[in-house]
Structure 1
């Protein structure tokens, strides 16, 4: 009965091509907790030579909105659980999914370009999308979705920006070498797109992310009062978003005090 109920919910909000849903994930997730998956179900989508798993999380009754969530690098959809819980408390249903090449759920080699296409596919599975939220690398992908689709609300959590050359580099040494080049993020057509973008954009960074260096690269891991913090976003990226938000009324930038790149872990405390 539960499977049928979930399938009915799937067909209400997702493409009718989805024929099977499960209460538990079929792939091992990094931060999976059964207790956190109430009112949710999983399904897989076939990409030909590989498949990716997705999770739909819903609230009691009819949700006011539906959000697509995109995780960051070196993680999977389970990293978005705190965000799912926050949105569910606000009567917002969510679809999250695994990206290839960034976790152990698929063995295929991948790239940003491939992840962008995967995200577009999952976006298209939803009958309605009100909000797109991307975290870190997922923020960069979310911007690419905004280039393709009409998105009413775009939310970028600690977004990364990559050079145009990085898009087609396979994850591994080639990709790392490209994004490690000093100031390479300036060579991105994304900046011009954002300057001309007219929909609402909310950007949130932790103040301990985007720490200033003298080499055009990110700070990475560092310590404050013997506590390890993480700043993978170069200082100049955050400053550029500050400049854009001052020039454009549709951009709202929030800097969360005393938080680093891992602010999503405590996302329930923030004003989203």
Structure 2
């Protein structure tokens, strides 16, 4: 006989104790309780213990709810069809050349914004490959944003304007492309604390860097410099001007520290006279 059976098998239990025992037994799934007579409540009738195996726990469905599935990080979503990407390579290269931008950067933005879907329209009304708002397109002289060439030109023109406005700081320019330049300025020329905007900046930069890991970057990362100088490195040209700055991953920091240690001249052994 179990502890529950011994505790609850007395014949002089009052109603409260009887109810407590019945509730405990039912809640734990240890026993099934049936009244001795059909017209009696389980909480008033003598308890009849039917000990049996504990039922298995309910199984949980692994299906992701539709809303949660729509919020899966871009890096975890299915890869873009290479044929769809190749279709717009010439147009992206042309827009990048016209506005003196890196084609790899435009590819990273297009992939993040629309997945190379020229017919994409957001709930806020942004249109096409680079998800340009109609007012932004008109601002830079482009009306037909459903045309891929016009859309890429409008997005590239806006991005170039943002880079010029924020001192060639790629992080701030991307944050402004996502949240608007006024939002960046409202937060003291820094990335606004919007989760969507922060994820957007990180995703675009990661895709840009992955597209050309060996290439020298041509954009500043001033917000990263403010956060931690150890996260940055820079290349200085012959004219003494800083030409590039990039974020360093922890692995890159270790490799850089190791190379500095290997390249350092050995200290001469000191001799005691």
Q: Larger radius of gyration, structure 1 or 2?
A: 2
Higher helix share: 2
TM-score, normalisation: structure 1: 0.23
TM-score, normalisation: structure 2: 0.23
